[in-house]
Every structure is written in structure tokens, then in C-alpha cells.
Amino acid sequence: MTRLLGLAIVCALPAAAAAEPDAARLFAREVRPALAAKCFACHGQDPALTLGGLDLTTREGLLRGGKSGRPGIAPGDAAASAVVEAVSRDNPKLQMPPKENDRLTERQIQSIRRWIDAGAPWPDDETLERYRNEPAADGGVRVATSGGLADDWTNRRYKPEDLWAFQPLRRPVAPASAQAGGNPIDAFHRAKLDAAGIAPAERADKLTLLRRASYGLTGLPPTPAEARAFLEDDSPGAWEALIDRLLASPHYGEQWGRHWLDVVRYADTAGNSNDYERSNAWRYRDYVIRSFNDDKPYDRFVFEQLAGDELEPGNPEMLVATGFLRMGPWGSAMLPKKIARQAYLDDVVHSVGQTFLSMPLRCAKCHDHKFDPIPTRDYYRFYAAFAATQIAERPAAFLPRENLARFESGRRRVEKLKNFATERKTALDAMLEEAARRWYAERGKPYVPAAERSKLPDAEKPPRHYGFTHVEEGRRKVRAQDEWIWTRRLERYEPLAQSVFNGPDYIPPNGRKLRMPQRMDPEWRPQSAIFAGGSVHAPTEPVTPGVLSAAGLPSNDEPGGASYALPAGLDGRRLQLARWIADPRNPLSTRSIVNRVWAYHFGRGLAANPNNFGASGAKPTHPQLLDWLAADFVARGWSIKRLHRLIMTSDLYRQSTEHARAERLREQDPDNALLARFEPRRLAAEEIRDSMLAVSGELNRELGGLPAMPEINMEAALQPRMIQFSIAPAHQPSPTPEERNRRSIYTYRVRGQADPFLEVLNQPNPNESCERRDAAAVSPQALTMMNSDAATDRSIAFALRLEREAAALPARIARAFLLAYLREPDAGELRAMLDYVREMQAHHRAREPEPVPYPTRVKRSLVEEFSGKPFDYEEWLPVFEDYRPDVKAWRVGPGTRALADLCLLLFNSNEFVYVY
Amino acid sequence: MTTRRELLYGLGASLGAPAFTALLADEARAAARPAPLAPKKPMLEAKAKACIFIVLEGGPGHMDTFDPKPKLNEFHLTESVRDPNQVLVEVKQKTYYVGSPFGFRKTGKSGLEMCDRFIHLAAAEVADELCIYRGCQAQSVNHPDALYHLNTGSVLGGDPGVGSWVTYGLGTLNRNLPGYVVMTELAYPQGGAGNWSNGFLPAHYQGTTLRASGSPILDLEPPKWKTREQQRRGLDALAELNRKHAAKHPSHDELAARMENYELAFRMQSEVPDIIDLGAESEKTKTAYGLDEQETRAFGRQCLLARRLVEKGVRFVQIFSGGWDSHDFLERNHSARIKSVDKPIAALIRDLKARGMLDETLVVCSGEFGRTPDNNRRGGVNPNGRGHNADAMVVVMAGGGTPAGAAVGATDETGNRAVEVVHPLRDLHVTWLRLLGLDDNKLTYFHGGRFKQLSQVGGQLIPELIA
């Protein structure tokens, strides 16, 4: 068809008049949509922003040209037309669109040339509409949506392959070989490989598979005993039994909870100006972990996080679940209320789209989506679904399953710090008031108490901060901030949940304490509208709540136009949205979760951008397999554990990372898109820390509860960081090794202060959703893994363990290899390591480490804003008064330190940090 | 530059022969891949090779520093009327104009006006190097959002820093030092490390903080009870373990890169302490930067370090000066703050010039936004400070291809809004990149389904800022 159309136009060229209808059609179908997509935004669509004075939205504008005076087109002569020159990008001084990546396709450029050569006909709107509605010659398809801001957008055509994720989910039939009883995953996989003439890699050895499965499901290394048991188990069901055992481990939920928390951007603080603690966020973290461990059906998981409060208003766990809606960074300091509210809603809309639908929605906030069938109208309909959602800490009784350990000791610690701040603040206030009395006395005037002075003219009262030096001014601010920071942190021990409620807009000043108002106007209903250009100050057309119309899935049973609408009352908006997302027929959400699970197993999704199924995301490499998995997943009750079993029992999952014909494979499939071999991966930051703790024998495997405060690099812990008016309190670790050496998912996650150990190993910034961990190797990683106190402490603990568990040095080295690598050293390795340890012994005998004390009081400095001068104050670190440190180098002899050097090497080695 | 081979030989007997061979093999393998930080040719003709970006955190008053507003003094303490559509921090009380407490005068041959508290920048030979831009507009009036905007191009705080983009585009000229170095006067700014993170760019382009005290880079040195020879021996033993491992995993390319980083880190350990050791600098230089005075010591040291880093091939150095957020007691605050930066910045410009580096080094100094011409009564007294204002600000530049002695753009009579040569911050970002030989529209990275760029949506050059 395409060729025919092109041919017709080419043949018609010599006679311009005869070409007219075809050229006009070409204009309607190809030229105008291209100009609309790539040029109108800056050239005509917005009269306030007609760059270069050039308006491309009318033929007159094109003929007139811009400020340069040169016409945009020369009808009949494409070669002489400025527009053609610009879009073909041959002239370095005239290249449009400005962004290289926005360049028009060759086909679009050819269409423009042909249209101009044919006289550049510009039919009237009615004709345009008629041409647009003709059946597609080129396979481009229109998508029915709630409608764009402009007709061009509404009527535009999409390449069918860009719409894959919007297509209804059908269950493809697995290729024939599956009927022979194999795993359908293998049938799909092999069919593709066979077609490419590539053989799959051999099955990996048992030890490799054990390590792969253990890390994959629990994020922890197998113990030597587990390894032995598995290696010795020759029964036909050994592999399946291993998978079942790992899935039944509570550590499974920790590992897969971590993946989910990456996507939803979990942190224990709110970020922004003050980085307020979200003192009960840990309850949501534990809820996620429990949900994975319980194999909660995914549709239920969606419901609870989006609308738990509406689903079961009396169930505290459901309030905890809506913590999902509180995960984004947010603050209201110094922001107009409307802007702060908009920031929250924009964040939630984008996050819900990205998390559950793999459809980032931020792109449609200011304009209809450039690539995907998501009109701005849908963005604001989605936005309206949350327009009654207000954020608050809500009372939610603790659950029997929640870990409430160390509440009392923690509360005492926080109270001590609060009192410390209060005492100092009170003393400074008294000093100020004393100065005020003096001021009045010196002038023979009667003293006026502070509260009554504020309205008096400046001359009749002491100047502000009278009697303070700039140091005292600064300290007063720090103590006042500290007082309420610690007061607020007492909420850690209260039965509260970071949650939401439905009600009128409210934003308490400063966002310090978010509580449901006592009284709310029952008549209040949100008024929602499309914000022009994304500006909250420019509401235009009103909208009602709704879902993404392009998904082709009605959100209710009502006939006609309301089928994509959500309830417009105060309650029920989110619940109905959740029903739509968790609908078995929803083409986006079903593919989304299956693809995510796949991506964590294989290092890459079947569609390589788990957060983006749109036209700009990567296309699925195995679309049939993805669809089959999604359909099967839904049909079998949305069970994620079942999906793991299905994936992990496939031959595909058990392939080696090495391929028999590696060089040829590198040429044929350099990106390993066909999965002819398994892709190795570096352990994630948390897995490295947890593995070091596990191997050294220090890991406390306790589940859940208040955030653990690990010992982080002391310089980073004490690094001053600005919050409003002050600097944030220093990081203080938990007082005992048991409390500190918890799994990394339980460690305190502060947006403004990352644990440098985890951060350098590519733990993502929690302000952005992370679909896939980066593992770029950078030199600071080597510095941290070799030199940090954390690495040193783990290596000493590991050495002490070896000394406990084996007597002679060779046996200790063998034990070290077994614990770290699950294998014995070969003769060469043993010899080399023996030499190394002995050499190190000599070094250590020559140098005795000096103890490094922990400070209990530290001086901290910042620039005070009243005076513009630096000042310092003392911060109290009471935890170090009764602190139980890990075993330090100065507590052990040279022999242990030398053995610890070996342990450090093992931790740093590639064999330890990569999983195959 | 010492080659790796020489370096290894220099270590003599500490390195066992097998490990040595293995390292060379890795080197060969590593060389086959383009190193992410290898120097790259600029896309366009570059005026500058490096950038020193000084951020005055908190937002200095443009009308109290480089943008005189005599009208404001006439209006002093008269009631002001705010435009309800201007994005400002909500104030319920009445607001009053606040005149600048400082006098202004023309400086140098160029006659650039600046407040009389600037003494060193006002010297003709320094002032005549400056380019004062008064037309820029930010977007947010909230510190962290605005800082993120200035430093990463996006208010959201997840995007790569300007320095990350620059090192991504140009690589680094000295692989033994980080390509992008960040120093803070005292505290980290609001928004913290998000201001210099690599965002979605690979971790190679992350800003590295160079600390004023303690270990200059976190974990740079092994514990005190370990020697460098000991560590070298450890690295050799590690290389041997890794070599054996790599032999079993020939398809796994990443292994060599990870090993290479241990060697790089080892070299960094010797190079970084040299950089921060100011012993080689003359007393005259140190005095010029104000290292002998309490008020200027901290910031002066960082300016001097910035020059040393750029000299050694670092692409992008960022310095944060804190505490400019003068809602109250503007006179006290700005007097002290100006004093803390005036001499060091002037010394930096003179020093760069004397060494012939100013032409190739873009120096930028800016707050995250400007300030309002008015304020409400605070603490029960007449207003004596200013609020946050994203519609007007001042950005001072020097060197790197900016026009010397130029004032570009203007604000209205009270300094409330930019009115001439008005550009959003993204255009300034585009212009800085252009000075460094980078085209914002081509300096893109595919992430989250689209090609991202520093300016977010593309921007325009500000031709007035290019000499």
C-alpha cells in the first residue's frame, strides 16, 4: 500500500494541478502531523511564543516566513524552500528542530519535499478532516482517546508497534515444543533462538545455580551447609525443592520488597527543605515485605496501596498500605499552598502511572503526550482521581505481626536529645528577656513582656535579638529547630501511619505535623480542570476523574461516554481507579508487573524499560512470551511466587553465562537480546553489605521494625547539612552491633544523607523511581571497599570467625574461601594466600593501631543568616556514652589483622561481588 | 603523565610477576573499550576548557550587590503592592519596600556598578574582567527546588548536575583526579548531594566532594595502621584472585573495568593529597586569597584549590558559599558574606589571569534566585531583609569567553523583575555549555524513554554573554 501511494504521487508530479488532491492528502496525512508534532510548539501554536516570528500553522504564515524575511516555502520548489533546508539539516546554521534527537524522519522530510514540489496545497479544515479519516495506507493507526488539546493530536496516527502495550491482552498459544510437556517459557524462547540459528547456552553448574537462585530470591548468599545439602541432593525434584525453600524464607520478602521500594522511592524522610522524618514510614516498608512473603495476589496489593483506606476503613494495615501515596519527596516550606498541593498531586499521578502502568505520565502534564496516546485531558482526569486525597499521619494501631522491639530504649534516647535542646533554648530565651529588662531599665521605662511587645513601634522596644551575640543568635535557632525535630521524632513510637484521607484541601504551615483536621466541610468537592501549560494558575476546561482512555478498558459499566469516568464524589475515586488498574483485562498493569519480575531475574525486562511501555521505551524482545506470561499470571490468581517458580524452573533461567560459541554470539546478538546465555550481574549495594555481614557471621536476621541505624562513615555522619534555619542533627548509630548489623533494607534511609557505603555502590537516589540498578564501576567504590571502617570492621569480624571455626592458618584460609565463595581454594590460591597473610603478619607486628575514640560531643559550624558569619555550637552524641562498637583493629592482635587483610581481599574480589 | 607501566615498575619488587602480567592484560582489554572519562573533543569550537561554578546559597540580593536600584531607597518603608500572579512565598501581612543599605559606585574602565562592600572585585583589573548578567529568571522560590534548578536544570532533584553533563561531554584531562569536584564552605546546601549527583547519567560523572578537613575524599586513605606498601601488596594479591576468576568468565567484560578501578583509586590516593597540600603555594598567593584572615580563610582555601584543580585538568569545580538567605538584618548579613567572598574571588580571577588560564576557564557566581524589593515586618520590627524572588537575580561571570567588563540585561526600577535580555535559567545553562564547546541539543542521554538534556526541553543561546 505504502509503495502504491508513493508511486501515485511521483507519477502525478509533472502536472501540479492533477497532483493537487494527492498532495493535499499527503499534507493532511503526513506533512501537517509532522509539523504539528515537531514544529508548532515554537512556531505558531502559542502566540506568545512564536520563535523567530515564524508561524507554521497556516499557509500564509509559511509563505510569509519569519523575521529573516525569507519565505518558509517556495511552492513548487522544495529545493529552494527554507523549511526543507532546515529540516534536512544540511546547513549547519539552519537546523530544525533544534534538538538533534527531534529530527524529522527521512520519510517525513521526503513528504514535505513532495508536498512543496506539488505546489504546497493547504485544504480547508473539512477536507483535512476527511483525508485524515480515510483508512490508513501506511498502517498508521488512530487511537480513540478522550481527546487532545488540538485536533491534530487527536487525529494523529501511531505506528502499530508503538502501541504494543495498549493492545488487549490475549493469551498466545505457546509454540509446539511446549506441548511436549516442557515449560512454555522455553518454547517461546527456543522458537526465537531457533529462528536466529543460535543454540542456547549449556545449563550452569549446580553451585552457580544455587548462588543465582539464593541471591535472586533472598539477596543473601547460601551458607556452606546449604550448598553441601543442595550439591548432594541428586533427587529429580532438588531444584524445585530449593526454589520452594527460598520462596518460603522470610528473606524472600526482604529482597523483593527492596525491588518494590526502589520503584516507589522509599525513604524514611521527606526530602525538600527540611527533610522531615516520616517517622512511621517503616511500617509501609514492612507491609511491602509481608505482602511479598504472604504472596499477596498482586491485584489485592494494588488495591491496598492505592485505596486501602477506602477498601477497609477500620483496618489499620490498610492505612499503612496507602503509605505508597506518601512515598514521593515533598515539602511545603516557602511554597505557595497551591503550588505545594500541585507538586504532591503531580508526583502521585506520575508515580502511579509509572509504578502500576509502566506509563510515566509527567510528559502529559503541560501538553498532549508527544509519543503516546495520552492526552493532557487524561492527565488531569487522572489528577482529579486524587484531587480529594489529602496527606496525613493517621492513627493506626500496631499489628500483632509488626516488630515493636526497642521502642522504650529508643524513646528514652530521643527524649534525652529533646530535653538537651529545650534546656539550651530556654536558657537563651531567658538571657534575651534579661537583656530586654535591662533595656527598659536603662531607659527608665516599665518592662513590657515579650508577648505584648510585638505590636509596639520599633523605638519603644528593644531591637530584635537585643543582648545576643551572633553566636547566641545562631545557637538559639539551632536549639529551637532541634527541639521540634526531636519532638517530632517521638512519633516513631506512636501508632501512626504515613497515610491519606479524603477531604478538603488543607496544608498546615510548614508541613511539620500533618493531621486530619477535626472538622471538615462535608459539602466540599474538588474542582478539577486542565491547567494550561501545567500552570496551577491557569485552569482551563473543567474535567472529572477518569482513567487512561487509550487503554481501551472502560472503568465502569455505564454505557457511552462515561465509560472511562471514575466516581466524582468525595470517596471512591481511588478505589475505582484501583479496580481499573487491577482489572484482569488492563493491558498495561498486567504486563507491567510480569515484566518487572522478569527484569529482576534476568537483569533486563522482556521490555527493557519496566517503567516505560510507551513508544519511547524499548520494545519487547519476546512480545508473545510477555503476553503469555501476563495472561497466565492473571489466570492463575496474580501469584508472584507462582511466577517465580515458572520462570526459575525453565531451562532458560538455568543457562550458563558462558556460551559455547561466545565469539559468534557476540557478533550475532551483541546485546544478548535473545537470551542465548544468562547475564551475570554485580550484586546490588545492599546485597554486598548483607553478604559481608552474613559471611562475617555478624548479620542479625531479625525481621522488620524501626529503622536500624548502621555505623556510617563518621565524617559523613557528622557532615553538616542545611535544613531550613539550621543544620540537621548528626547521624547517630544504634548502640549495639546487633541493632546496627541488620539487613540493609532496614537501615535508616535519609533523602538528604545517604549512607556513603551504599551510595557509592549505586544505591539509587530515592527521589526518582528506579527501574533497574546501575552497576557502573567507579574508583570511589574501590576506596570504600578497601579503606572504609565498614569494610575493615566486617573483615575483622570475618577473621575472628575464621579463628573460632578453624585452628591452623591453611584451614582458616580454606574456611574463608568456603564461606565467601562456597568452594575450597586450589593449591595455587592457597599458597598465594598463605604467603600474603604471613607477609601481612610481619607488617602488622611492626605497627600497633592507635585506638580511635568515638566523640560524645562535637563542634559543628554553619553560617548564621542574621549575621552572615559562621558560628559553632556543641552537639551531643549520647549514643557514644554507652556504645558497644564492633571489634576494632586495636582490640585484636597482628595475626587477626593479617587474616582480616585476606578477608578484605575476598570481599573485594570479583568472585564475591558478581553473581553468575 | 606517568604511564601505568612506569608506575608499576616504579613500585619495583612489590609487584609479583604473574600479577603484573595480568594487569597488563587487563589494561589491553580495558583499552579496547572507550573509557567513560577519557577526554573527548568538544562538539563545537570551545572557548573554555573548564568551569569554576560558585554558588551563593540562599540567594543574595541582586539589588544589594550588582544591580543598583536607587528608586528603592526613595520608596524605603513605603507599602508595596504585590502582583498576585507573581510566584512568591505567601505573605499575609502588608509588605514594604526596603532600600539597599549599601552605596554603589562605578568600577574600572568599564564602569560596572557594584555595591561598595566589594573592595577587591571593584579593583579595575578585576572588575574589567567581569560580565554581570541581570536578565536571568529562575522558577522556584523554595531553596532546594531552586538550587536543584540552578545546579541540575530541573527543580525535581533527580537530574545530573551541570558538572556531570560537562564531564559526560568532555571527559576529564586527569584520570587520577575526579573530573567533577565539589566543595562546600561549611554545611552541605539544602537539597544536599542531589545538587551534584550524576542523576541518570552513569556513576562516572558524579560530583566528588573534596572535604576541607579530615580525609579530603571519603575513605581515600587506608586506616592509619596500614601502609601504602601493604596496600600495594594487597592489590597485587587481589589482582591475582581476579585474574583466575576472569579466566573462568571470558564473556564477562565488566570484570576488567572493575579491576582497573582499583588501580585508579590507588593512584588517586597519591595525587589528591598533593593537590590539597598548599605548601607549594607562595605566602603572597595565600595572602591574596585571604588565607591569613579568619573571615576569608575557608572560602579562600576553596578558591585556591579550585585554581589548583583546574590547573591539573579537572573539568568542573563547584564551590558553595552558604548563608546568603537574608530575610532579616540584610546589612549585617551581606556585609559579612560579601567580605567572605570578595577577596578570594578577586584573587581567583587575578590568579587565573596571571597564569594565562582565565580565557580558558569559565568562572560563574550565582545564587539560586534573587530577592524581593520588599518584605513584611518580621519579629515585630520594621523589615530589614528580603524575600525570595525567582523573577530577577544576578549572575556574575568572568573568563571562559564571556565579554569582559560587560553588563547584560536589566531589571525594572525596583528590581522586582528582569525586563531586558530576559532569559530563563535554562538558556544560561545552554550558554555555559556552548562556552565549553558543548551543544545542549546534542549533549543528550537516553533515559526513562526520552533523550534528556541539561536544559530539559531545549533552550536558546544568550548571544550577549558570548564575547
Smallest CA–CA distance from B90 into chain A, residue:
A336
Range from A248-262, A657-671, B340-354 carrying the lowest mean pLDDT: A657-671
Identify which of A802, A733, A132 has the alpha carbon closest to the alpha carbon of residue A413: A733
pLDDT in tens, A578-614: 999 999 999 999 999 999 999 999 999 999 999 999 9
Render pLDDT for A743-773 as a digit per residue (tens, 0 to 9). Answer: 999 999 999 999 999 999 999 999 999 999 9
Fold of B42-215+282-465: Alkaline Phosphatase, subunit A (3.40.720)
Interchain pair B261, A721: CB under 8 A: no
**Structural Rg of chain A based on CA atoms:** 32
Q: What is the ipTM of this complex?
A: 0.87
Q: Write out chain A residues lying below 8 Å of B142, CB-based.
A: 272-273, 331, 333-335
Is A463 in contact with B335 (Cβ distance < 8 A)? no
- Quick check: A829 and B244 CB within 8 A? yes
Task: Give residue A181's pLDDT.
Answer: 60
**Size of the A and B interface in Cβ pairs below 8 Å:** 305
Chain B residue closest to A754 (CA)?
Answer: B193
Name which of B87, B261, B380 is nearest A779 (Cβ-Cβ).
B261
Rounded mean pLDDT, A26-40: 85
Domain positions in chain A are: 2-139, 410-490, 682-915
Q: Closest approach of chain A CAs to the CA of B349, in angstroms?
A: 24
Give the tens place of pLDDT for each residue, A807-822: 999 999 999 999 999 9
Confidence of residue A1 (pLDDT cuts 50, 70, 90): very low
What residues of A are in contact with residue B244 (Cβ under 8 Å)?
A: 828-829
Q: Do A751 and B448 touch (CB under 8 A)?
A: no
Report residue A509's pLDDT band, with 50, 70 and 90 as the boundaries: low
Is the pLDDT assigned to residue A316 strictly greater than 50?
A: yes
CA atoms of A569 and B450, how far apart (whole Å): 37
What DSSP assignment string belongs to A581-628? HT-TT-HHHHHHHHHHHHHHHHSS-SSS-TT--STTSPPPSSHHHHHH
> Which tens digits make up the pLDDT trace of A532-547?
999 998 999 999 999 9
Strands A496-502 and A389-395: antiparallel
Residues 6+ apart with CB under 8 A from B307: B52, B348, B351, B352, B355, B357
**What is the DSSP annotation of A495-508?**
SEEEEEEE-S----
CB contacts under 8 A, B 187-246 vs A, are 187-194, 197, 199-200, 202-204, 206, 208, 211, 214-215, 217-227, 229-231, 233-234, 237-238, 240-242, 244-246
**Smallest Cα–Cα separation from A262: which of A796, A830, A651, A758?**
A758
> DSSP class of residue B292?
T
**For residue A454, which residues of chain B lie inside 8 Å, CB to CB?**
380
pLDDT at B23 (0 to 100): 43
CB of A607 closer than 8 Å to CB of B449: no
> How close does chain B come to A376, measured CA to CA in Å?
17
pLDDT tops 70 at residue A197:
yes
For an interface test with B, give the residue of A682, A866, A897, A906 to mutate (most B CBs within 10 A): A866
**Is B172's Cβ below 8 Å from some Cβ in A?**
no
CA distance A910 to chain B (A): 6
Q: Which of B93, B258, B460, B381 is nearest to A458 (CA)?
A: B381
Beta-carbon count within 10 A of A14 CB:
8
What does the mean pLDDT of chain A come to?
Answer: 92
* A257-261 contact pairs (CB < 8 A, 24+): A257/A285, A257/A288, A257/A289, A257/A291, A257/A292, A257/A745, A258/A219, A258/A684, A258/A686, A258/A745, A259/A596, A259/A600, A260/A288, A260/A292, A261/A285, A261/A288, A261/A745
Please tell me the distance from the alpha carbon of residue B151 to that of residue B145, in angstroms, as a whole number.
Answer: 10
CA atoms within 13 A of residue A34's CA, in its CB half-sphere: 23
Of A682, A719, A782, the CB nearest to B265: A782
- Stretch A681-692: mean pLDDT, rounded? 98
Interchain CB contact of A458 with B (< 8 Å) = yes
Q: Chain A closest CA to B402's CA: distance in Å?
A: 22
pLDDT digits (tens, 9 = 90+) for A167-176: 999 999 988 7
Residue that wins the pLDDT comparison between A181 and A843: A843
Q: What is the pLDDT of residues B409-441, one digit of tens each?
A: 999 999 999 999 999 999 999 999 999 999 999
Residue of A nearest to B252 (CA): A680
Is A724's pLDDT higher than 50?
Answer: yes
Asked whether A592 and A613 are in contact (CB, 8 A), the reply is yes
User: Does position A136 have pLDDT exceeding 80, yes or no?
Assistant: no
Q: What are the helix (H) ranges across A448-560?
A: 450-453, 470-489
Cα angle for residues A714, A717, A718 (degrees, 5° grid): 90
Amino acid B27: pLDDT: 45
CA distance A273 to A752: 9
Percent residues over pLDDT 90 in chain A: 75
**pLDDT confidence of residue B28:** 45
- DSSP secondary-structure letter at A647? H
Among B220, B327, B335, the residue with its CB nearest the CB of A868 is: B335
Sign of the CA dihedral running A893, A895, A901, A907: negative
Is A463 in contact with B381 (Cβ distance < 8 A)?
A: yes
Is the preceding omega at residue B189 within 30 degrees of 0, hence cis? Answer: no
A369 vs B: CB within 8 A: no
Q: Mean pLDDT, to the nearest integer, of A611-633?
A: 95
Are the beta carbons of A455 and B380 separated by less than 8 Å?
yes
Cα of B259 to nearest chain A Cα, Å: 8
CB-based contact, A466 to chain B, within 8 Å: no
Delimit the domains of chain B by residue range: 42-215+282-465
Residues 392-431 (B) with a CB less than 8 A from some CB of A: none
Confidence of residue A211 (pLDDT cuts 50, 70, 90): very high
Which residue of A612, A787, A847 is in closest CB contact with B219? A787
pLDDT score recorded for residue B9: 32
More confident call, A217 vs B256: A217
Say if B77 is an interface residue toward chain A (CB within 8 Å). Answer: no
The pLDDT of residue A39 is: 86
3-state secondary structure A10-28: HHHCCCHHHHHHHHHHHHH
pLDDT at A561: 58
A344-396 pLDDT, tens digit per residue, is 999 999 999 999 999 999 999 999 998 999 999 999 999 999 999 999 999 99
* Local structure of B419: helix, strand or coil: strand
Nearest by CB to B388, from A334, A666, A781: name it: A334
CB-based contact A862 B322, cutoff 8 Å: yes
Distance from CA of B44 to the nearest CA of A (A): 11
Spatial distance between the Cα atoms of A82 and A88, rounded to a whole number of angstroms:
10
Q: Give the gap in angstroms from C-alpha B347 to the nearest C-alpha of chain A.
A: 21
Tell me, rounded to whole angstroms, the distance of Cα A663 from its chain centroid. Answer: 36
User: Pick the residue with more confidence: A29 or A887?
Assistant: A887
Q: Is A612 on the interface with B (CB under 8 A)?
A: yes
pTM metric for this prediction: 0.89
**Residue A107 clears pLDDT 90, i.e. is over it:** no
Q: Who's near A229: CB < 8 A, 6+ residues apart? A: none
pLDDT cut 70: percent of chain A above it: 96
Residues of chain A with Cβ-Cβ distance to B257 below 8 Å are 777
Please list the pLDDT of chain B residue by residue as tens digits (467 residues).
Answer: 333 333 333 333 333 334 444 444 444 444 445 678 899 999 999 999 999 999 999 999 999 999 999 999 999 999 999 888 888 887 888 999 999 999 999 999 999 999 999 999 999 999 999 999 999 999 999 999 999 999 999 998 889 999 999 999 999 999 899 999 999 988 899 988 889 999 999 889 999 999 888 889 999 999 999 999 999 999 999 999 999 999 999 999 889 889 989 999 999 999 999 999 999 999 999 999 999 999 999 999 999 999 999 999 999 999 999 999 999 999 999 999 999 999 999 999 999 999 999 999 999 999 999 999 999 999 888 999 999 999 999 999 999 999 999 999 999 999 999 999 999 999 999 999 999 999 999 999 988 777 899 999 889 999 999 99
Nearest residue of chain A to residue B297 (CA atoms): A870
